[in-house]
Chains A and B, each alone.
Chain A
Amino acid sequence: MKPNSHNFKLNARHALDDKQLQRALAKVPGGFVSKRADARAALPEFDALRDKARDIKNHTLEHLDLYLEEFERKVTEAGGIVHWASDAAEARAIILDICVMVDARVVTKGKSMISEEIALNDHLEAADLKVVETDLGEYIIQLRGETPSHIIAPAVHLNKDQVEEDFRRVHTNLSPDRQLQEPEQLVGEAREMLREQFIATDVGITGANFLIAETGTSVIVTNEGNGDLTQNLAKTHIVIASIEKAVPTLEDAAAILRVLARSATGQEFSTYTTFSTGPRRPGDPDGPEAYHVVLLDNGRAELLGTEFKEVLRCIRCGACMNHCPVYHSVGGHAYGWVYPGPIGSVLTPSLIGVDEAGPLPNASTFCGRCEDVCPMRIPLPKLMRRWRAREFDKGNPPAKQRFALKAWAFAARRPWLYRMGAGLAMPLMAWRGRSAGRFSSLPFVDGWTAHRDFPAPQGRTFQQKWRAEKRKRSRVSQGRGKS
């Protein structure tokens, strides 16, 4: 997809004004957040497992070349074929070649963020292939011509009445009088429509949550079972995965799986975790006849040598966006590319460049919740700050912001000036905002105050309070000394 991250501010403003979107987003914090908290509470080892998961991935990344070689060797041994793709164009070409070679007309797909990253559907459709997304959320946004707004809940930005409209528009062979108000009816209809596609398909494409070097196995995790129908009913199964999905052993995969579903949906384990190793074996009555794995780099190998390499531990659970106040307010599309939320703010500039994605690392309140919940202990705020520092060095923020920040920095390094400035500003602000107790607009930060109010200071500055407190304490301790 064509990136639109440089427009984050404008995108965010539109998102905040979009009533349908705001209605849908209002449901995000409640569900995901409390379910994850419950799952964590039910497993005393959870936080220790997060440390382990981090260590496993760090070890893997330090030996990534070797584990990928082993993975390739074991896939080949099992009768599968591994393809290496340096970038998105190469990956698209490889996949189209396979489809053409097997004379495919219909391609079904399980959910894959990598497929979004390389804009696979457009490429296959341009070659006259019928591409059908089978994950319910992906199916809905495909009907709408949209991209996912969340990495595990692609249609989280929509309400059921919107889905009903889409189904009525597209499923024209069904009775117009049918009932479609309830999610259950919508799910039932999608199930029927997609059944036919699963059966008619030639090629099934899935992503991978893990690539296991020990056995040459790709792993997918779903709740719907669509990924399994996709790969078992097609003659050819193509797995598209980025190189950092590797883990050494089945035990390593098990350890990370223990934190994946709990962090993502708050389930203890997803309904279906599927381990696929090669094509159909002699005597097998079902399963794909050919098994391909396309390994995508697309900038990751290089990223491994930078100060942003920790982001390669990400297992795409979505917890960081589920807990992000910025994501809660603007949703996923505002981020303008494939990966939204805090992970997107770090990954997007790494993958498509900071010139395009510059605003994203600024889309943060630095509240730190993303790092608190990340199962792979990725220091997301620190990495965002690094991008900001680079941005600032390159002279990217607008002059007004640079001036305000410089002025603040100048004063902050000169305590007397800071004291004086803050001491003057505080009563002034308190006076100007005194009637409502907050400001609905402030100079320099109008973007911030357009959609929220800044509380008016109620009294003295922090430094004034600190000094007063110190005086009080020294009086108390002197008093004690006397008695």
Chain B
Amino acid sequence: MTVRATSSSRERILGRIRSSIGVSADEADRRVRSQKRLYDHDAHIIPSRSQKSHLELVHQFEDILIGQAATVRRVSEMTDVSNVIAAYLREHNLPARLRQGLDPRLEEINWSAAPHIDRLTGPAHPDDTAGLSHAFAGVSETGTLVMVSGPANPTTLNFLPETHIVVVSQSEIVGPYEGAWTRVREVFGERTMPRTINMISGPSRTADIEQTLIMGAHGPKRLLVIINQNS
């Protein structure tokens, strides 16, 4: 599908860039230098706060998320997640209903402990009240969840329902963002990304009216993060 012949613009823009830099298209050393950078993808300065012991990183992840208006709970077994979710929904007076993707890790939850919760699967619908997802990783540095798109965890669940519940494996909490990139490359390969990666650091918010911070601008008003310690 070509919308419009923009190839001439392409050549014009690239040509202008080269003449501004004062180079030609085929200078080998520039190509080598840029290719090397792309394949080496060296990290730069890693803040000291993301280079602590794993246990400290987990604590920091939790503390920062709480500071960003998320709720954090820990479970010692995946099966316990249902209890935490049931209590949370009750506490906030929310309907006992949620939607989730097909992530096999979420299948380990023991729902018989909370049989009253209606569970639907698939991408989010406009009238869904809560979404349940499993994170790909957590970044301790800024209390950030790393979510990956796909049938296991549809991206719309991260944004459409008013309440978002995310399970993250404690062992998958890393220090810096670069730790997450390492894992992305392990799982998806070099120079390959899933369609969408969402880094999420709290519930949705805005300060567009008189710089007053209000939660729940367009995305979720509430974020519950459940750290699974047995992982």
Contacts and interface: CB of A to CB of B under 8 A. Distances in A.
B47 to A, nearest CB: 5
Given A214-B38, A268-B64, A27 B211 contact: yes
Interface stretch (B7-15, B73-81, B83-91, B103-111): B7-15
Interface in B45-63: 45, 47-49
Interface residues of B, number: 86
20 contacts: A44-B47, A64-B21, A67-B34, A69-B14, A81-B1, A85-B6, A94-B4, A153-B211, A187-B206, A216-B193, A225-B220, A228-B158, A250-B181, A251-B42, A254-B181, A275-B199, A277-B194, A277-B196, A292-B3, A305-B19
Contact of A287 (B1, B48, B196, B203): B196
A268 B142 contact: yes
B112 interface: no
A439 interface: no
A132 interface: no
Interface string A2-18: 00000000000000000
Given A65-B18, A249-B41, A304-B17, 18 more contacts: A65-B21, A86-B12, A163-B209, A183-B214, A187-B217, A191-B218, A224-B204, A226-B218, A229-B219, A251-B42, A254-B44, A257-B177, A268-B142, A272-B204, A284-B149, A286-B156, A301-B13, A305-B22
A285 B122 contact: yes
Interface string A81-99: 1011110001001100110
A194 B214 contact: no
A97 B5 CA distance: 12
Interface in A106-131: none
A24 to B, nearest CB: 7
B204 to A, nearest CB: 4
A232 B199 contact: no
B30 interface: yes
A292 B4 CA distance: 13
A67 B31 CA distance: 10
A254 B155 contact: no
Contact of A186 (B3, B38, B64, B209): B209
Contacts of B20: 301-306, 309
A136 B9 contact: no
Contacts of B143: 269
A215 B184 CA distance: 12
A84 B13 contact: yes
A195 interface: yes
Contact of A215 (B17, B23, B191): B191
Given A45-B48, A154-B208, A297-B13, A269 B201 contact: yes
Given A86-B13, A304-B20, A271 B204 contact: yes
A170 interface: no
A191 B17 contact: no
B9 A153 contact: no
Contacts of B4: 83, 93-94, 97
Most chain B beta-carbon contacts within 10 A, residue among A48, A223, A257: A223
Interface string A270-288: 1111111111110111110
A424 B194 CA distance: 74
B33 A63 contact: yes
Contacts of A68: 13-14, 17
B210 interface: yes
A287 B149 contact: yes
B210 A183 contact: yes
Nearest to A279: B195
* Chain A interface residue bracket vs B: 35 or more
B50 to A, nearest CB: 10
B66 interface: no
Contacts of A62: 21
B138 interface: no
A68 B11 CA distance: 12
A140 B217 CA distance: 13
Given A191-B217, A272-B219, A286 B155 contact: yes
Contacts of B37: 59, 248-249
Contacts of A285: 101, 122-123, 151, 154
Nearest to B198: A274
A199 B216 CA distance: 18
A56 interface: yes
A297 B16 contact: yes
Contacts of A226: 217-219
A286 B214 contact: no
A481 B122 CA distance: 90
A121 B122 CA distance: 34
Contact of B159 (A67, A225, A258): A225
A304 B21 contact: yes
B217 A84 contact: no
Contacts of B95: none
A362 B115 CA distance: 69
Contact of B41 (A158, A198, A214, A273): A214
B6 A225 contact: no
Contacts of A252: 44
A225 B217 contact: yes
Contact of A276 (B30, B122, B195): B195
Interface in B174-207: 176-178, 181, 184, 191-207
Contacts of B205: 223-224, 271
Contacts of B10: 84
